[in-house]
């Protein structure tokens, strides 16, 4: 092998090595550039995801701010009417912000639906949360599960062994110290529906509900927002809106003129059906003879935040004026109005509304029972006395008094004082049952005694309520509790307790006494009317403190590119 050949071979190897070095350098350069691009892309993606996350969290924060604003309003519809501050706003965060607005959207039946629109931004990222919300309706709401026992004292009300509670329950946080359970239980009552508590399950040291969880077949939730039935301003605001939307022909301010002991002015309402039409007979300017209260007949003293109580004169009997101009009988549909929201073009389903600035007596001996056909809400600033069974017209679930879902007849009873079942036997304390013109003093010829309930015991000559006494209605009590009067000394008590069936809903600032187990009054049997949870009741006066997304009401999406 000559030197020239060896030199060429050596040169070729050097050239080949150089080419390989260059190839490797190019490959590594390309890989490096690729890795840089990947890293840059990952960084860009990470930054974009971060901005999108911040934008989404900002949008959700705006939604929560809107929900908070709604929970603070005496009445959301009124707040939106008046463009109260806070329904529209912005929130700034590190790296982002949001703009939100609470709007009225529409009515579903008589239930208002609201819209919260919140747009969150971070850099170029933008996310929108668009949610349709409605006020949560429970079934049986209690400001506290306690009854007034004195002018400033309350006592526990127990759910007792053998009771079956087939209605969702909410109990506000009592904020007691030491922190004990706010629901009181003896034995093993059954709670078939969900129970919500304003308080926590633990008091920081122990589980207050240990040993009781098995009683709640429908489950139990803790730390839930308080229902606002205890807030007088909230109650007044909603009633003001109700009154403003009521036909003036059905707004009454009774002035009773019968000369009776402890007189109280009232309107008498009688519900009946003729020729498949639901009617209400309204007798204005009645006078109720007040009787001495029983040991549990308390109501809240206005302006005391529900901490002070007073006794009130309970129903004994009443007189109506003989002048026929005080009496009107109209189809319930004549009282119908529609709720509206200015500028939206939205209207609620029609429903009846009657407002009484005073007391109300519901009942009459002219009918075996009161039957409501149609949609009606009755609001009173005073006491509403239940003096007979109140039902709604058919169709009902077979073998029960529970209305089926598409039954359009419903009654709402709302009082700023108390709603109570009377003791009809008290009328016998003041004379014969029917008539008792000798009771009235002075102007007997100008008034007539009105018997209520639906019969008299032939042995004792005491007027009585049917057994069971049935009330199918949504009951709302802003100045006390739902219950029965004169418990512990009811004159109609014959040694055995009657059943009190409530089919509907109850909302009360404090508990009222229905009966004393095994002693007097009624045995309570309560069932939810599930139609009420859908907002079928006209007037939409609900007091839940919680607003929740409507079914399929939550939407969120990107608006950036």
Token pair for 410? 């419903």
Residue 366 is predicted with a pLDDT of 83
Q: Are residues 553 and 458 in the same domain?
A: no
Q: Are residues 253 and 108 in the same domain?
A: no
Residue 33 is predicted with a pLDDT of 65
Q: Are residues 376 and 481 in the same domain?
A: yes
Q: Report cis status (omega within 30 of 0) of the bond before 395.
A: yes
CA pair distance 379, 239, nearest whole angstrom: 8
Q: Are residues 117 and 242 in the same domain?
A: no
Token pair for 90? 């912005």
Q: Are residues 339 and 287 in the same domain?
A: yes
Domain assignment of residue 262, yes or no: yes
Q: Closest Cα partner for 353 from 507, 236, 249?
A: 249
Q: Closest Cα partner for 292 from 511, 489, 465?
A: 489
Domain assignment of residue 506, yes or no: yes
Domain assignment of residue 150, yes or no: no
Q: Are residues 132 and 242 in the same domain?
A: no
Each residue of 446-469: pLDDT tens digit? 888 888 887 666 566 678 898 899
Residue 435 is predicted with a pLDDT of 45
Angle at 478 between CA 77 and CA 174, to 5 degrees: 100
Domain assignment of residue 544, yes or no: no
Q: Are residues 499 and 554 in the same domain?
A: no
Inter-residue contact 543 to 235 (CB < 8 Å): yes
Angle at 33 between CA 29 and CA 36, to 5 degrees: 135
Number of structural domains found in the chain: 2
User: In 3-state terms, what secondary structure has residue 21?
Assistant: helix
Token pair for 478? 């802003």
Domain assignment of residue 154, yes or no: no
Buried b (16+ CB within 10 A) or exposed e, 85-94: ebbebebeee
Inter-residue contact 97 to 58 (CB < 8 Å): yes
CA pair distance 218, 195, nearest whole angstrom: 7
Domain assignment of residue 213, yes or no: no
Token pair for 521? 């009054």
Q: What is the DSSP string of 287-351?
A: EEEEE---TT-EEEPTTSTT--EEE-PEEEEEEEES-GGGEEEEEGGGGEE--B-TTT--BPPPE
Q: Report cis status (omega within 30 of 0) of the bond before 178.
A: yes
Domain assignment of residue 538, yes or no: no
Q: Are residues 515 and 553 in the same domain?
A: no
Average pLDDT per block of 10 residues along the chain, 561 residues long: 58 67 71 65 70 92 96 93 93 92 93 96 93 94 96 92 87 95 92 95 92 93 95 95 96 94 95 97 96 95 94 94 95 96 88 98 89 97 97 86 92 98 82 50 73 72 86 97 94 85 96 87 89 88 92 88 54
For residue 324, the tally of other CB atoms under 10 A from its CB is 8
Q: Are residues 369 and 433 in the same domain?
A: yes
Domain that holds residue 514: 227-523
Q: Are residues 390 and 510 in the same domain?
A: yes
Inter-residue contact 316 to 290 (CB < 8 Å): yes
Q: Are residues 461 and 554 in the same domain?
A: no
Domain assignment of residue 1, yes or no: no
């Amino acid at each position: 092998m000559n030197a020239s050949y060896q030199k060429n071979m050596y040169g070729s190897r050097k050239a080949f090595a150089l080419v390989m070095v260059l190839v490797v350098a190019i490959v590594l350069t390309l890989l490096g550039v690729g890795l840089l691009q990947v890293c840059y892309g990952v960084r860009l993606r990470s930054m974009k995801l971060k901005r999108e996350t911040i934008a989404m969290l900002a949008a959700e924060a705006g939604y929560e701010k809107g929900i908070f604003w709604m929970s603070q309003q005496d009445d959301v519809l009124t707040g939106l009417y008046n463009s109260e501050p806070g329904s529209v706003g912005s929130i700034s965060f590190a790296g982002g912000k949001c703009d939100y607005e609470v709007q009225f959207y529409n009515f579903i039946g008589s239930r208002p639906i609201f819209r919260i629109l919140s747009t969150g931004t971070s850099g170029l990222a933008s996310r929108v949360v668009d949610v349709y919300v409605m006020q949560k309706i429970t079934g049986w709401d209690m400001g506290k599960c306690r009854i007034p026992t004195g002018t400033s004292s309350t006592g526990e009300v127990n759910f007792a062994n053998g009771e079956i509670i087939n209605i969702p329950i909410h109990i506000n946080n009592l904020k007691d110290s030491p922190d004990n359970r706010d629901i009181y239980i003896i034995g093993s009552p059954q709670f078939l529906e969900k129970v919500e508590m304003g308080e926590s399950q633990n008091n920081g040291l122990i589980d207050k509900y240990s040993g009781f969880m098995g009683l709640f077949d429908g489950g139990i939730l803790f730390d839930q927002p308080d229902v606002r039935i205890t807030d007088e301003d909230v109650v007044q605001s909603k009633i003001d809106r109700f009154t403003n939307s009521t036909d003036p022909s059905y707004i009454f301010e009774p002035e009773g003129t019968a000369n009776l002991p402890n007189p109280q002015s009232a309107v008498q309402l009688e519900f009946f059906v003729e020729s498949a039409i639901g009617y209400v007979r309204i007798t204005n300017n009645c006078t109720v003879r007040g009787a001495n209260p029983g040991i549990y007949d308390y109501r809240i003293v206005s302006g005391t935040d529900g901490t002070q109580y007073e006794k009130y004169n309970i129903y004994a009997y009443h007189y109506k004026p003989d002048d026929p101009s005080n009496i009107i009988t109209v189809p319930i549909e004549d009282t119908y109005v529609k709720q509206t929201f200015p500028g939206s073009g939205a209207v609620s389903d029609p429903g009846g509304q009657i407002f009484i600035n005073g007391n109300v007596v519901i009942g009459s001996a002219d009918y075996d029972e009161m039957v409501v056909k149609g949609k009606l809400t009755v609001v009173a600033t005073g006491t509403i006395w239940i003096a007979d069974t109140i039902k709604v017209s058919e169709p009902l679930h077979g073998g029960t008094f529970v209305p089926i879902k598409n039954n359009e007849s419903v009654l709402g009873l709302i009082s700023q004082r108390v709603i109570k079942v009377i003791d009809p036997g008290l009328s016998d304390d003041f004379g014969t049952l029917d008539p008792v013109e000798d009771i009235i003093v002075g102007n007997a010829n100008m008034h007539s005694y009105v018997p209520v309930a639906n019969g008299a015991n032939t042995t004792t000559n005491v007027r009585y309520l049917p057994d069971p006494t049935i009330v199918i209605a949504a009951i709302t009590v802003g100045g006390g509790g739902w219950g029965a009067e004169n418990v512990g000394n009811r004159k109609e008590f014959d040694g055995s307790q009657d059943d009190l069936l409530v089919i509907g809903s109850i909302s009360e600032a404090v508990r009222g006494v229905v009966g004393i187990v095994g002693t007097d009054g009624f045995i309570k049997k309560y069932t939810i009317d599930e139609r009420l949870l859908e907002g079928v009741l006209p007037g939409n006066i609900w007091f839940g403190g919680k607003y929740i997304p409507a079914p399929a009401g939550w939407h969120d999406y990107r608006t950036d590119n």
